[in-house]
Amino acid sequence: MSRKLTSSRYEEIKRLGADWIEDYDLVYPLEPLEIAEVLGVHVAIHADGLPPTAQRFSTSDGYTEPVASRHGWKFRIHVNGATPELRQRFTLMHELSHIWLDHLRADTTLTDDRAEGEANFLANYMLAPDALVVMWVPELSISSIARAFQMSDEAAELAHGRVIRAISRNAIGRPHDQRIAESSTRRIEPPATELSAWLGLA
Protein backbone atom coordinates (compact mmCIF):
# COMPACT_ATOMS: atom_id res chain seq x y z
CA MET A 1 0.00 0.00 0.00
CA SER A 2 2.14 2.80 -1.28
CA ARG A 3 1.13 6.42 -1.04
CA LYS A 4 4.13 7.64 -2.93
CA LEU A 5 3.36 10.08 -5.72
CA THR A 6 5.47 10.79 -8.77
CA SER A 7 7.84 13.72 -8.46
CA SER A 8 6.00 15.59 -11.21
CA ARG A 9 2.74 15.21 -9.28
CA TYR A 10 4.46 16.57 -6.14
CA GLU A 11 5.58 19.61 -8.15
CA GLU A 12 2.10 20.02 -9.60
CA ILE A 13 0.57 19.95 -6.11
CA LYS A 14 3.07 22.58 -4.97
CA ARG A 15 1.95 24.78 -7.87
CA LEU A 16 -1.69 24.28 -6.88
CA GLY A 17 -0.70 25.26 -3.33
CA ALA A 18 0.86 28.47 -4.68
CA ASP A 19 -2.40 29.19 -6.57
CA TRP A 20 -4.35 28.71 -3.35
CA ILE A 21 -2.08 31.10 -1.41
CA GLU A 22 -2.24 33.71 -4.18
CA ASP A 23 -5.94 33.46 -4.97
CA TYR A 24 -7.00 33.87 -1.35
CA ASP A 25 -4.16 36.10 -0.04
CA LEU A 26 -3.46 33.61 2.71
CA VAL A 27 -1.83 34.87 5.88
CA TYR A 28 0.58 32.84 8.04
CA PRO A 29 0.37 31.01 10.33
CA LEU A 30 -2.65 29.72 8.43
CA GLU A 31 -6.08 29.98 9.97
CA PRO A 32 -7.84 26.93 8.46
CA LEU A 33 -11.28 27.97 9.74
CA GLU A 34 -10.97 31.29 7.89
CA ILE A 35 -9.90 29.48 4.72
CA ALA A 36 -12.95 27.22 4.96
CA GLU A 37 -15.14 30.27 5.33
CA VAL A 38 -13.81 32.04 2.23
CA LEU A 39 -14.18 28.80 0.26
CA GLY A 40 -17.82 28.57 1.39
CA VAL A 41 -17.18 25.29 3.21
CA HIS A 42 -19.11 24.63 6.38
CA VAL A 43 -17.12 23.20 9.28
CA ALA A 44 -18.58 21.26 12.19
CA ILE A 45 -16.24 20.68 15.11
CA HIS A 46 -17.52 17.89 17.31
CA ALA A 47 -16.23 18.48 20.83
CA ASP A 48 -17.22 14.98 21.95
CA GLY A 49 -15.80 13.16 18.93
CA LEU A 50 -17.13 12.40 15.46
CA PRO A 51 -20.73 11.27 14.90
CA PRO A 52 -21.37 7.60 13.97
CA THR A 53 -21.42 8.50 10.23
CA ALA A 54 -17.62 8.75 10.50
CA GLN A 55 -17.42 4.94 10.51
CA ARG A 56 -18.37 5.02 6.86
CA PHE A 57 -15.22 7.04 6.17
CA SER A 58 -13.03 4.90 8.45
CA THR A 59 -11.54 7.93 10.18
CA SER A 60 -11.23 9.20 13.71
CA ASP A 61 -9.95 12.66 12.72
CA GLY A 62 -12.40 14.11 10.23
CA TYR A 63 -14.23 13.72 6.92
CA THR A 64 -16.03 15.77 4.31
CA GLU A 65 -19.52 15.22 3.02
CA PRO A 66 -21.11 16.86 0.00
CA VAL A 67 -24.41 18.55 0.77
CA ALA A 68 -26.99 19.59 -1.80
CA SER A 69 -28.00 23.22 -1.48
CA ARG A 70 -30.09 25.63 -3.49
CA HIS A 71 -26.81 26.86 -4.98
CA GLY A 72 -25.59 23.43 -6.01
CA TRP A 73 -23.23 21.12 -4.17
CA LYS A 74 -21.46 22.40 -1.09
CA PHE A 75 -19.17 20.71 1.35
CA ARG A 76 -19.38 20.16 5.05
CA ILE A 77 -16.25 19.15 6.94
CA HIS A 78 -16.55 17.30 10.22
CA VAL A 79 -13.60 17.54 12.61
CA ASN A 80 -13.02 15.52 15.76
CA GLY A 81 -12.82 18.29 18.35
CA ALA A 82 -11.66 15.88 21.03
CA THR A 83 -8.19 15.64 19.44
CA PRO A 84 -5.36 18.13 20.20
CA GLU A 85 -5.77 21.55 18.59
CA LEU A 86 -2.74 21.19 16.31
CA ARG A 87 -4.13 17.92 15.03
CA GLN A 88 -7.47 19.59 14.31
CA ARG A 89 -5.64 22.28 12.29
CA PHE A 90 -3.99 19.56 10.24
CA THR A 91 -7.23 17.61 9.82
CA LEU A 92 -9.02 20.70 8.56
CA MET A 93 -6.22 21.49 6.08
CA HIS A 94 -6.27 17.84 4.97
CA GLU A 95 -10.01 17.95 4.27
CA LEU A 96 -9.75 21.36 2.55
CA SER A 97 -6.93 19.91 0.43
CA HIS A 98 -9.26 17.15 -0.80
CA ILE A 99 -11.65 19.90 -1.89
CA TRP A 100 -8.94 22.08 -3.47
CA LEU A 101 -7.57 19.07 -5.39
CA ASP A 102 -11.05 18.13 -6.65
CA HIS A 103 -10.87 14.71 -5.01
CA LEU A 104 -14.55 14.76 -4.10
CA ARG A 105 -15.84 14.87 -7.64
CA ALA A 106 -18.06 11.92 -8.43
CA ASP A 107 -16.01 11.17 -11.57
CA THR A 108 -12.63 11.08 -9.84
CA THR A 109 -10.38 8.24 -10.98
CA LEU A 110 -8.00 8.44 -8.02
CA THR A 111 -7.75 5.52 -5.63
CA ASP A 112 -8.52 6.37 -1.98
CA ASP A 113 -4.95 5.66 -1.10
CA ARG A 114 -3.55 8.07 -3.64
CA ALA A 115 -6.09 10.75 -2.68
CA GLU A 116 -5.05 10.42 0.98
CA GLY A 117 -1.39 10.75 0.04
CA GLU A 118 -2.07 13.88 -2.00
CA ALA A 119 -4.22 15.51 0.69
CA ASN A 120 -1.62 14.79 3.37
CA PHE A 121 1.13 16.22 1.21
CA LEU A 122 -0.79 19.39 0.30
CA ALA A 123 -2.00 19.96 3.88
CA ASN A 124 1.56 19.80 5.17
CA TYR A 125 2.88 21.92 2.31
CA MET A 126 0.19 24.58 2.82
CA LEU A 127 0.83 24.81 6.54
CA ALA A 128 4.59 25.29 5.97
CA PRO A 129 5.53 25.88 2.31
CA ASP A 130 9.20 25.34 1.43
CA ALA A 131 9.79 28.99 0.51
CA LEU A 132 8.39 30.30 3.80
CA VAL A 133 10.26 27.75 5.91
CA VAL A 134 13.53 28.82 4.29
CA MET A 135 12.71 32.54 4.71
CA TRP A 136 11.33 32.51 8.23
CA VAL A 137 13.17 29.63 9.88
CA PRO A 138 16.65 29.87 8.33
CA GLU A 139 18.16 27.58 10.96
CA LEU A 140 15.64 24.92 9.85
CA SER A 141 15.13 23.37 13.25
CA ILE A 142 12.07 21.18 13.63
CA SER A 143 10.95 22.85 16.86
CA SER A 144 11.21 26.34 15.31
CA ILE A 145 9.25 25.19 12.25
CA ALA A 146 6.58 23.76 14.57
CA ARG A 147 6.39 27.06 16.46
CA ALA A 148 6.46 29.39 13.44
CA PHE A 149 3.79 27.50 11.51
CA GLN A 150 1.77 26.11 14.44
CA MET A 151 2.20 22.45 13.62
CA SER A 152 2.80 19.36 15.68
CA ASP A 153 6.44 18.23 15.96
CA GLU A 154 5.50 15.25 13.81
CA ALA A 155 4.12 17.46 11.01
CA ALA A 156 7.06 19.87 11.34
CA GLU A 157 9.45 16.95 10.94
CA LEU A 158 7.78 16.02 7.65
CA ALA A 159 7.97 19.63 6.44
CA HIS A 160 11.61 19.73 7.51
CA GLY A 161 12.40 16.57 5.54
CA ARG A 162 10.64 17.92 2.46
CA VAL A 163 12.55 21.23 2.60
CA ILE A 164 15.90 19.48 3.13
CA ARG A 165 15.20 17.24 0.10
CA ALA A 166 14.27 20.26 -2.02
CA ILE A 167 17.46 22.07 -0.97
CA SER A 168 19.66 19.04 -1.64
CA ARG A 169 18.14 18.71 -5.13
CA ASN A 170 18.66 22.38 -5.74
CA ALA A 171 14.89 22.60 -6.16
CA ILE A 172 14.22 25.72 -4.08
CA GLY A 173 13.48 29.03 -5.78
CA ARG A 174 11.28 27.56 -8.49
CA PRO A 175 8.45 29.75 -9.83
CA HIS A 176 5.92 28.41 -7.30
CA ASP A 177 8.37 29.14 -4.44
CA GLN A 178 8.79 32.69 -5.71
CA ARG A 179 5.04 33.19 -6.04
CA ILE A 180 4.55 31.98 -2.47
CA ALA A 181 7.38 34.14 -1.14
CA GLU A 182 5.87 37.20 -2.83
CA SER A 183 2.20 36.73 -2.06
CA SER A 184 1.96 35.27 1.41
CA THR A 185 1.99 37.54 4.39
CA ARG A 186 2.78 36.89 7.99
CA ARG A 187 0.62 37.84 10.92
CA ILE A 188 2.68 40.34 12.83
CA GLU A 189 2.98 39.78 16.54
CA PRO A 190 2.83 43.05 18.43
CA PRO A 191 6.17 44.04 19.96
CA ALA A 192 6.50 43.13 23.64
CA THR A 193 6.10 46.72 24.87
CA GLU A 194 2.91 47.22 22.91
CA LEU A 195 1.58 43.91 24.16
CA SER A 196 2.21 44.78 27.78
CA ALA A 197 0.43 48.13 27.22
CA TRP A 198 -2.59 46.24 25.93
CA LEU A 199 -2.53 43.99 28.90
CA GLY A 200 -2.40 47.03 31.17
CA LEU A 201 1.08 46.15 32.38
CA ALA A 202 2.89 49.24 31.09
CA angle 175, 4, 129 (to 5 degrees): 35
Residue type present at position 73? W
CB of residue 17 to Zn ion, shortest distance in Å: 16
Rounded CA separation 58/1 (Å)? 16
Q: Which is nearer to Zn ion, 11 or 116 (CB)?
A: 116
Helix (H) or strand (E) holding 195: helix 192-198
* Count of residues that interact with Zn ion, criterion CB under 5 A: 2
Of 42, 162, 16, 43, residue with least CA distance to 102: 16
CA angle 190, 127, 52 (to 5 degrees): 115
CB of residue 153 to Zn ion, shortest distance in Å: 22
Q: Which is nearer to Zn ion, 119 or 166 (CB)?
A: 119
Q: Which is nearer to Zn ion, 99 or 166 (CB)?
A: 99
CB of residue 116 to Zn ion, shortest distance in Å: 5
Rounded CA separation 155/160 (Å)? 9
Determine if 77 is a binding residue for Zn ion (CB under 5 A).
no
CB of residue 63 to Zn ion, shortest distance in Å: 7
Q: Which is nearer to Zn ion, 96 or 119 (CB)?
A: 119
x/- map, 104-133, Zn ion, by CB under 5 A? ------------x--x--------------
CB of residue 62 to Zn ion, shortest distance in Å: 8
Q: CA quadruple 10, 164, 32, 177: dihedral positive or negative?
A: negative
Q: Which is nearer to Zn ion, 36 or 119 (CB)?
A: 119
Integer angstrom CA distances of residue 20 from 15, 70, 154: 9, 26, 24
Give residues in contact with Zn ion (CB under 5 A): 116, 119
